[in-house]
Amino acid sequence: MTETGWRSLREAYASLVVVAAAGICLNILILLTTICTKSLPSTAHILIGCCAFFDILHEIGHFIQFPILFSEYYIHSFTCSCMQFIPVLGRSAAVICSFCIGIDRMLCMLDAVVYERMKKKHLHAYYVLSVLLFCIWTAFLMIVNWTPKLEICTMLAPFHGDSRVLLWNTISGIYILISLIYFITWQTVKWTGDAASQTSNNVYTTITIVMIVEVST
């Protein structure tokens, strides 16, 4: 890479580090808020806290390449994969947590009576299983096309060949589903009217906070 290329890369990375640092701070605030606040529905309360925690793990991964600001920093792909393993799984878990929040709030708003009758242990088990399955899928993509080489250790660097495209397409598809689910939930919130204004406000706040932080970081 030319000196101009390295300079551009360092400038882009510096901006990314600032965004990641801001994301860590915001997610810490969300995590502390969910721990201290009892007004949110219990399942959503747990999911929001988990989403914030997983996002913190993900954002820490952006700092692994910090030496690039001072030198031409390549590392072996195996070392990079080991260092990025937890942050990458954190990213995947956070995406699925956002999806589960949308599902949970949509079910609650579409039919609150049926939702209250659901066995929460079973519901929580489904959410945990969803996170685990997607993390396993992510780990599989890291391994299946792994190639030994020197590389700049970005968040996507552990994914080689078609794995990178598959991961990107999968996450993009999930984000589209999340947007659709949250739109349906938002419309349901609007239809509930004054009779459920407090619940509607809580749901709307939940969706807004999680989506802004998740998408922006």
Three-class HEC string of 94-151: HHHHHHHHHHHHHHHHHCHHHHHHCCHHHHHHHHHHHHHHHHHHHHHHHHHCCCCCEE
Can you tell me the distance from the alpha carbon of 19 to that of 138, in angstroms, rounded to the nearest whole number? 24
Average of per-residue pLDDT across 104-128: 81
**Is 60 exceeded by the pLDDT of residue 217?**
no
- The CATH superfamily holding the domain 3-216 is Rhodopsin 7-helix transmembrane proteins (1.20.1070.10)
Q: Does 70 or 137 have the greater pLDDT score?
A: 137
Q: For position 203, what pLDDT does the model report?
A: 57
CA nearest 139: which of 192, 214, 89? 89
Q: What is the largest CA-CA distance in the chain?
A: 63
Q: Determine the Cα–Cα distance for residues 88 and 93; give it in Å rounded to an integer.
A: 9
pLDDT of residue 114: 78
Q: Is there a contact between 213 and 30 (Cβ–Cβ < 8 Å)?
A: yes
Q: How far is CA 2 from the centre of its chain?
A: 34
Give the residues across from 150 on adjacent strands: 76
Instruction: Return the pLDDT at 73.
Output: 72
Buried b (16+ CB within 10 A) or exposed e, 157-183: bbbbeebeebbeebbeebbeebeebbe
Under the banding of pLDDT at 50, 70 and 90, the label for residue 69 is low
Q: What pLDDT is stored for residue 17 in this prediction?
A: 82
Compute the mean pLDDT over every residue in the chain, rounded to the nearest whole number: 81
Domain boundaries of the chain, sorted by first residue: 3-216
**Model pTM?**
0.83
In this prediction, residues 101-124 reach a mean pLDDT of: 80
Residue 66 — very low, low, confident or very high, per pLDDT cuts 50/70/90? confident
Identify the sign of the CA torsion 72, 78, 83, 86.
positive
Q: Is pLDDT of 55 > 80? A: yes
Question: Helices (H) and strands (E) in the chain — how many of each?
Answer: 7, 2
* 13-27, 71-85, 112-126, 181-195: least confidently modelled range: 181-195
Greater pLDDT, 209 or 11: 11
Model confidence at 34, pLDDT cuts 50, 70, 90, reads confident
The string of pLDDT tens digits covering residues 198-216 is 555 555 565 666 666 555 5
